[in-house]
Amino acid sequence: MNDIQLSAKTEVLIRFSEVDSLRIVWHGNYIKYLEDGREAFGRKYGLGYLDYINNNLLTPIVKVDIDYKYPLHYGDKAIIETTYVDQDSAKVVFDYKIYRASDNVLVSLASTIQVFLNMERELQLTIPLFFEEWKRKWGLIR
């Protein structure tokens, strides 16, 4: 592991369908915001879901951790900052910070862990060549 930090930001508008009877974003919708963050990261760094699939890999999430600090409301804009956390093991880890755009208040911290499966859904215990090459491209390994 090294000191290089890869991150991406994206903005989402909170829709009416995402709030609950308390008039705040229902907690389960934050999972979708994390997905938005991973997709923005993938577009920026060439690590989208189709890149995995085109290399005969699946990357299911095996762990999600979310710390809710402040609520988001209908009409708010949220900024999702997604940061890749480099690992020596065969997994993909991201940290997230979600901010309310109007005042830059940190509303949530989160992390996810994904593992590698081949197309037969067998766990890959070593870093796949595709992912190793991706890490090399971005200076994470030499």
Q: Name the fold adopted by 7-134.
A: Thiol Ester Dehydrase; Chain A (3.10.129)
3-state SS string for the chain: CCCCCCEEEEEEECCHHHECCCCCECCCHHHHHHHHHHHHHHHHHCCCHHHHHHCCEECCEEEEEEEECCCCCCCCEEEEEEEEECCCCCEEEEEEEEEECCCCEEEEEEEEEEECEECCCCECCCCCHHHHHHHHHCCCCC
Amino acid identity of residue 55, one-letter, is N
Which are the contacts of 70, defined by CB distance < 8 A and separation ≥ 6?
100, 105, 106, 107, 108
Query: What per-residue confidence (pLDDT) applies to 2?
Result: 62
Query: What per-residue confidence (pLDDT) applies to 20?
Result: 95
What is the Cα–Cα distance from 78 to 70, expressed in whole angstroms?
12
What is the Cα–Cα distance from 106 to 26, expressed in whole angstroms?
17
Query: What per-residue confidence (pLDDT) applies to 142?
Result: 78
User: pLDDT tens digits for the chain (142 residues)?
Assistant: 567 899 999 999 999 999 999 999 999 999 999 999 999 999 999 999 999 999 999 999 999 999 999 999 999 999 999 999 999 999 999 999 999 999 999 999 999 999 999 999 999 999 999 999 999 999 998 7
Whose structure tokens read 């090399």?
A: 136
Query: What per-residue confidence (pLDDT) applies to 4?
Result: 85
User: What's the predicted TM-score (pTM) here?
Assistant: 0.94
